[in-house]
Amino acid sequence: MQNVSVASQISVSAYEADKIVDGLKLFNISEVGSPEWLDQQDKMDKLNLQAHQSAQSHTDEYVVESIVSSAKVSLLLLELLVIEVWKEKVLPHLEEHLAHRVDNLTSNQLLYSEAGMANLLEVCLYHEHACQAMSEDALLELCDWYLTDHVNTVALGVAVRLISTNDTISALIPLIDRPPWKRRVKKESQTYQNGQWQVISPEGSLKLTQHEAQVWLALNNLLVDPGCREKALQQSSHGVESLQRLRRHMNEVLLDQLPVLADLQRVLDELAMGCSGLPHNAHSSLIIEQVPMIRTSIMKGQNWRKIAEEQRESFFGAEAAALSEQRMRSMLKTLEAMCDMQPDPAADKA
């Protein structure tokens, strides 16, 4: 009963979600850490929690629909880029001050906000119509984060950057060969799940983790679609030889857990026999690449040290300490509800 009451205190109704989404606005870098910015981050955390609760319970995903219908998906991306640039350029000038003069809650919010916004974007972009609601410029900025689920529907420039420029397939293959979420400690096999290392039995080692499943599904998206496979084989540096490293991991146990990979196995078998499915004249050395410009425009003409000094005086002084206790209570409720949503490791083993 405790878990239910906590979740109910945090949950956001459809009306409240619409009101919050309508009020979302873009802050510039000089406003990061202001009371208004912190208040919006608290509201976005609630939206994020509710969006995941809805997805987990397979109920009406009204938070996502509100964000899409209000044309705020691209705004989430812009906010993500702003905090990303702030952490890279402004935070180094404030680290010592934040460590010794600012409460942990405010510091945590500044550091956590990027992950929170990325998490909310992720649950939105699970839906193809949310991806299509973003501008092409915004999608180009996201090529380092997501999009393999919808790579066959996005603009050509986005697909080229994802497949050729970023060479995503070459980045994914080593994760299958040597997964960083598995290790052996004192002759025990461990896997990283739900934010911690857990001992697994020999039988459990055959069970796919969420991380492994995501990598396999991304490879499936990039290689099974004929158009994506053509771009990958033409432009990518890995070649057919590297792709064949995946074949030794394909077995009945894997396919029983992810039957959709049967098409990927077929593609790998065809490539092994020299049947790429590409026309003989398909190879070309011409690459037309669109360059993401939003992040560059955010950084243009900024005096990072001056921004840091102004924020130190305006946002990270006595005023921040006075507001922290009230925000602490709200954040603890949100954190407790998020912990309640985590899968029970004992239940998973059962």
Highest mean pLDDT among 177-186, 194-203, 267-276: 177-186
In terms of Cα–Cα distance, which of 44, 48, 38, 24 is closest to 341?
Answer: 48
Task: Compare 226 and 278 and report the one with higher pLDDT.
Answer: 226
pLDDT tens string 101-124: 777 777 777 888 888 888 898 888
Q: DSSP letter for 301, please.
A: T
The reported pLDDT for the residue numbered 338 is 60
The pairing of strands 196-199 and 188-193 is: antiparallel
Going by pLDDT thresholds of 50, 70 and 90, the confidence category of residue 6 is very low
Task: Report, as an integer, the average pLDDT of 238-264.
Answer: 82
The DSSP H or E segment spanning 182 is: strand 182-185
Mean pLDDT of the chain: 78
Indicate the angle between helix axes 262-272 and 210-224, nearest 10 degrees.
Answer: 50
Going by pLDDT thresholds of 50, 70 and 90, the confidence category of residue 217 is confident
Task: Report, as an integer, the average pLDDT of 17-32.
Answer: 92
The reported pLDDT for the residue numbered 135 is 76
CA 216 from chain center: how many Å?
A: 16
* Percentage of the residues of the chain whose pLDDT score is greater than 70: 72
* Percentage of the residues of the chain whose pLDDT score is greater than 90: 12
Taking the model in full, what pTM does it have? 0.68
Rounded to whole angstroms, the Cα distance separating 21 from 43 reads 9
Task: Compare 272 and 17 and report the one with higher pLDDT.
Answer: 17
The reported pLDDT for the residue numbered 82 is 92
- Is the pLDDT reported for residue 9 higher than 80? no
pLDDT tens string 58-87: 888 899 999 999 989 889 889 999 998 999
Phi and psi at residue 189, in whole multiples of 5°?
-85, 135
Q: DSSP letter for 319, please.
A: H
The reported pLDDT for the residue numbered 27 is 92
The reported pLDDT for the residue numbered 305 is 93
Contact between 165 and 156 (Cβ < 8 Å):
no
Enumerate the domain spans of the chain: 2-155+291-349, 167-272
The reported pLDDT for the residue numbered 104 is 75
- Is the pLDDT reported for residue 306 higher than 90? yes
Contact between 106 and 331 (Cβ < 8 Å):
no
Picking from 33-37, 124-128, 164-168, which range would have the lowest pLDDT averaged per residue? 164-168
Picking from 31-35, 165-169, 173-177, 345-349, which range would have the lowest pLDDT averaged per residue? 345-349
